[in-house]
Amino acid sequence: MNNELQYKDCIEACHQTMNACNVCYVSCLKEYDIAMLRDCITLTRECAGICSFAAEAMTRMSPYVADICALCIKMCESCADECEKQMQDHCKHCAEVCRKCAQICRGMCYVA
């Protein structure tokens, strides 16, 4: 796969994850027992921010893309682990999207 296509796929995955995390974050805040969702709320917010930053770095062709994507992988996996513990549909969806993003970002660690 050439670098341009790989960047495009990863940027798209990061944007989808950022959106899923933001939806999960807002939806968790509307749940009855938000104390039970405290870690999910924190991680989805952090993950959305990291995914946004990673996408921006890739569009700038930053020399730090590999490092940033490594952090994105770690964040997406942590967020997915936490979201998978929850019963809400928005959490389950967020976990799936985070896992996919981590998988796609793994390829970026060797591109930059």
Query: What is the band of 1 on the pLDDT scale with cuts at 50, 70, 90?
Result: very low
Which residue segments constitute the domains of the chain, with CATH numbers given?
Answer: 3-110 (1.20.1270.360)
Band the pLDDT of 99: cuts 50, 70, 90. very high
- Answer yes or no: is pLDDT of 49 > 60: yes
pLDDT for the residue 52? 97
Mean pLDDT of 86-97: 95
Q: What is the mean pLDDT of residues 26-41?
A: 91
CB-based contacts of 98-104 (< 8 A; 24+ apart in sequence): 98/17, 98/20, 98/21, 98/47, 100/13, 100/16, 100/17, 101/13, 101/14, 101/16, 101/17, 101/51, 101/72, 101/76, 102/72, 102/73, 102/76, 102/77, 104/9, 104/10, 104/13
| pTM attached to this predicted model | 0.90
